[in-house]
Amino acid sequence: MPMSRISLLKGKSPEYIRALGDSLQRAMEESFNVPKNDRFQLVHQHEPYEMMFDRSYEGQRSDDFVLIAITIGKPRSTEMKQAFYRRLVALLAESPGLRPEDVMVVVSSSQGDDWSFGGGRPAA
C-alpha cells in the first residue's frame, strides 16, 4: 500500500488537483503493481516562499513543478520503477497537462511493521 505526498505551489483548481491524483493512481495501478482502490494521497499546496526548488536542475522547471514523494512497503525492481516514472509523466501530460520536466518523484521503501492500516494492528 503506497502512501503519496504531492507538493505543489498554491493556485490550482480542485479539478487540476483531482486530475493530478487520478493520473498518479492510474500510473501506480498500471505499472507499479498497486491494486485498484489502494489509494492514499495527501496534497500539500505551498506559498512560493514555502516551496523552494532549483528551476534548472535536470531541465527547466516552471511554477507548475510538482514533487511526488511515495512511501512503499513492498520493494519494487529498478525496471518497475523506471516503467512507473515513464508512465506517470505520460499520464500527467495528458491530464492535467503537466510537462514531464515539472515532475519530480522520490520513492522510499519501508518494512511491513512500519505500517498500521487501522485498529492499532501492525501490517502483516
Catalytic: 2? yes
Catalytic residue from among 2, 14, 75, 122: 2
Cα→Cα distances 18→12, 41, 61, 73, 121, Å: 10, 11, 22, 24, 31
Residue 93 has phi, psi (to 5 degrees) of: -65, -40
Given the DSSP bridges, would you call strands 66-72 and 116-118 parallel, antiparallel or unpaired? unpaired
| Chain position carrying cell 505543489 | 8
The Cα 35–Cα 66 span in angstroms is: 24
Q: How many CB atoms lie within 10 A of CB 96?
A: 20
State the catalytic residues: 2
